[in-house]
Amino acid sequence: MTMLFSGSMLFSCCNEKQKAQDATTDGASWTVDKFDDIKVLRYEVPGFDELPLQQKKLIYYLAEASRCGRDILYDQHFKYNLAIRHTLEKIYTSYDGDRAAADFVAMEKYLKKVWFANGIHHHYSNDKFTPEFSREWFESALVKYASDVELPISQQELCDIIFVPELYATSLNQTDGVDMVKESACNFYEGVTMAEVEKFYADMADANDPRPISYGLNSKVVKNDNGELVELTWKLGGMYSEAIEQIIYWLEKARGVAEEPQKSIIDALINYYRTGDLREFDRYNTLWVGDNVSNVDFVNGFIEDYADPLGRKASWEGIVNFVDSTACRRTQIISANAQWFEDHAPINPAYRKKEVKGVSAKVITVAQLGGDCFPATAIGINLPNADWIRKEYGSKSVTIDNITYAYDKAAQGNGFNEEFVLREEDRERIKLYGKLADDLHTDLHECLGHGSGQLAPGTKGGELKSYTSTLEEARADLFALYYLGDEKLVELGLIPSLDAAYAAYADYIMNGMMTQFSRIELGKNVEESHMRNRKLIAEWCYEKGKEQNVIEWVKQDGKSYIVVNDFAALRKLFGELLYEVQRIKSEGDYEAGRKLVEDYAVKIDLELHKEVLERYAKLNIEPYSGFVNPDFVLTEKDGEITDIKLVYNNNYVEQMLNYSKNYSFLPLLN
């Protein structure tokens, strides 16, 4: 609910530090690997070399902590992921046969996909990967090369998991009317039903608590020997203890070089990991959101709930960054005017915040991606998630500039606009203003969109259940889209004219109604929350603006195009939908939220889907991108670190195997 992922196109800024560093790469490729529907990129970290040694050490220690939780995410996605990954890696590294043979090449691609998705289910569609190597070949390789892997299940069962399509078919099933808990392979629940889990947490909730606890955020729900539901808490001495112990070790090292207020923030996080107490997590968040002075910052822990069908359990993630001070002007302007944007939002005045507190936004340079942010990552983040903390303490937003820059460098000249953008004037706007519009959309979405609005008295925030993430992303996107087209941005000097907004509008509608389907297997529904959000907004606006021909389908030379005919009318529709989505969230109107999502966000026209896939395939563009991290090289003297340098790793396989070798702390079954 707080992470903005890229759409079909990304336009990134290029600040002076990046220009300088880019010049030194002598045009080296930004793409380090390609397989299936994925390309793996590298990113650079301009400005790291100029940081003081103390801050370099802090980044390094925090980066180590962000690597140590890697296996937690694998296990959260599916309880047999670690066993499968270790087996595949053992075969891959031990194999002494023909590595050009079709079965081995297919297994290598499968393993690369497992690394990318942190498991055997696709990171966007949630569907289980289909192996292109034969079961007979794999069983033979398993016996020959991986017989010493101490599996928690039989080799037969492991092969069934990989090769039987119906077995654990999806990690996240959000189909309306099914038992989402039982039909999802994610490892947040075991042996329980959706109805049992919902009652379990409903009985915990205190309707009168003005600071409600995020019950269930850091635990797995199972039944004990008496058939009673209990939580296995993710903490030191609890579930995932072996990895958490390592995370704490590096956090303590980071604390040793941190200054206040960051020392106290790290202390609170360590205490949360030690106790599993969600009140400690709230204390950590309130301290963290109040820190707007530290140059180095980080996110570490159980944060986002997209992977849980009930929107309650949080996936583990880690990210380390520092401020890009030269690129922060636009976010500072937006933050300074947060109250104006809130006061003029097209929503019920009762659901506007009377006083916007603690809104801060920065442009950052990421130095390490981990967990749910790796290899695929967001381009913007807004935290914390708890509504009561947002209301009382505010929120912190970041736009990750060096990541969008890497996307942009890798995407130059790919032919996408020429293929899917019909009108020359739209292509020209995108060329001139697309990067600026994309940056501002991210800033507005993260800094103001997620932080805007308030709940009605009596609404606690969990009422929308499985639709929470989609509707929250729609709310933030609508806020950003509506204000992109406001003259206030021209007045503030953030855009030269409304043509920048029109570039964003044309792209957004095209992506929501068409081009994002290139990421989905033919005949499948839209499952991922951000994709559902974009489709919901675009399809709703198309339907509501039909009489005025606001948005139009055009056929030309046998190809389908979606064009916006009236940008002003489209902005008005964004405002109308924002009014309703905010009402749904504020009032916890589950039925209205369910209907919006199911009516507009899920189903794809089969013929259009087929056309998009065929046209996209001809461009030879992989629809998904992720990254390898840079490596830290330490210079030491007499046991003390005297300098730290970054080396840019261009080998995806090497990095994944290195991480598996050095950061695997958990048993194969948890």
Q: Is there a domain that residue 635 lies in?
A: no
Q: Is there a domain that residue 491 lies in?
A: yes
Q: What is the mean pLDDT of residues 559-569?
A: 98
pLDDT range class, residue 209, cuts 50, 70, 90:
confident
Q: Residue 437 corresponds to which tokens in the numbers above?
A: 């519009």
pLDDT range class, residue 460, cuts 50, 70, 90:
confident
* Exposure of 485 in the CB half-sphere (CA atoms within 13 A): 21
In this structure, the number of other CB atoms found within 10 A of the CB of residue 401 comes to 28
Q: Is there a domain that residue 92 lies in?
A: no
What 3-state class would DSSP assign to 76? helix
- Cβ(185)–Cβ(217) below 8 Å: no
Residue 462 has pLDDT above 90, yes or no: no
CA angle 436, 442, 444 (to 5 degrees): 100
Q: What is the pLDDT at residue 526? A: 94
Q: What is the mean pLDDT of residues 41-54?
A: 96
Give the model confidence (pLDDT) of 80-120 as tens digits. 999 999 999 999 999 999 999 999 999 999 999 999 999 99
pLDDT range class, residue 357, cuts 50, 70, 90:
confident
Residue 443 has pLDDT above 80, yes or no: yes
- Cβ(119)–Cβ(77) below 8 Å: yes
Q: What is the pLDDT at residue 1? A: 42
* Exposure of 146 in the CB half-sphere (CA atoms within 13 A): 24
What 3-state class would DSSP assign to 190? coil
Q: What is the mean pLDDT of the chain?
A: 92
Q: Is there a domain that residue 579 lies in?
A: yes
Q: Is there a domain that residue 200 lies in?
A: no
- Indicate the DSSP class of residue 396: E
Q: Is there a domain that residue 156 lies in?
A: no
> For the chain, how far is it from start to end, CA to CA, in angstroms?
27
Q: How many domains, in total, are found in the chain?
A: 1
Q: What is the pLDDT at residue 205? A: 87
Q: Is there a domain that residue 111 lies in?
A: no
Range of the domain at 440: 3-70+239-627
Residue 243 has pLDDT above 80, yes or no: yes
- Cβ(179)–Cβ(194) below 8 Å: yes
Q: Is there a domain that residue 223 lies in?
A: no
Q: What is the pLDDT at residue 403? A: 92
Quote the CA–CA distance of 482 and 501 in Å, as a whole number: 9
Residue 456 has pLDDT above 90, yes or no: yes
Q: What is the pLDDT at residue 156? A: 97
Residue 644 has pLDDT above 50, yes or no: yes
DSSP 597-648: HHHHTS---HHHHHHHHHHHHHHT--SEEEEEPPEEEEEEETTEEEEEEEE-
| Buried-state track 311-325, b at ≥16 Cβ within 10 A, e below 16 | bbbbbbbbbbbbbbe
Q: Residue 183 corresponds to which tokens in the numbers above?
A: 């039909």
Greater confidence (410 vs 263) lies with 263
Q: What is the pLDDT at residue 668? A: 97
Q: What is the pLDDT at residue 3? A: 45
Tell me what percent of the residues of the chain surpass a pLDDT of 90. 82
pLDDT range class, residue 14, cuts 50, 70, 90:
very low
Alpha-helical runs (H) found in 96-187: 102-117, 135-145, 155-163, 180-183
List of residues 6+ apart from 281 with CB closer than 8 A? 214, 217, 218, 272, 301
Give the model confidence (pLDDT) of 249-292 as tens digits. 999 999 999 999 999 999 999 999 999 999 999 999 999 999 99
Q: What is the pLDDT at residue 544? A: 98
- Indicate the DSSP class of residue 126: -
What 3-state class would DSSP assign to 304? strand
List of residues 6+ apart from 413 with CB closer than 8 A? none
